[in-house]
Amino acid sequence: MKDKTIDYVLRATWQAVARMYNEEASNYGATMATGFALLSIDKEKGTPSTTLGPKMGMEATSLTRTLKSMEDKGLIMRKKNPDDGRGVLIYLTEFGKEKRELSKNTVLKFNETVRKNISDEQLQHFMEVSEIINELIHEKKIF
Cβ atoms within 10 Å of 66's Cβ, excluding its own: 20
The per-residue pLDDT for 2 is: 65
pLDDT score of 25 more than 90: yes
Name residues whose C-beta falls within 8 Å of residue 68's C-beta, 6 or more positions apart in sequence: none
Given a cut of 80, is residue 49 above it in pLDDT?
A: yes
Half-sphere exposure of 44 (CA within 13 A, CB side): 0
End-to-end Cα separation, the chain, in angstroms: 25
- The pTM is what? 0.87
Q: What's the pLDDT tens digit per position in 89-132?
A: 999 999 999 999 999 999 999 999 999 999 999 999 999 999 99
As a whole number of angstroms, the distance between CA 42 and CA 52 comes to 10
In single-letter form, the type of residue at position 138 comes to H
Q: Is residue 135's pLDDT more than 80?
A: yes
pLDDT band at 3 (very low <50, low <70, confident <90, very high): confident
Tell me, what's the pLDDT at 1?
57
CB 103 within 8 A of CB 38: yes
Distance CA 110, CA 15 (A): 15
Give residue-wise pLDDT tens across range 53-84: 899 989 989 999 999 999 999 999 999 988 88
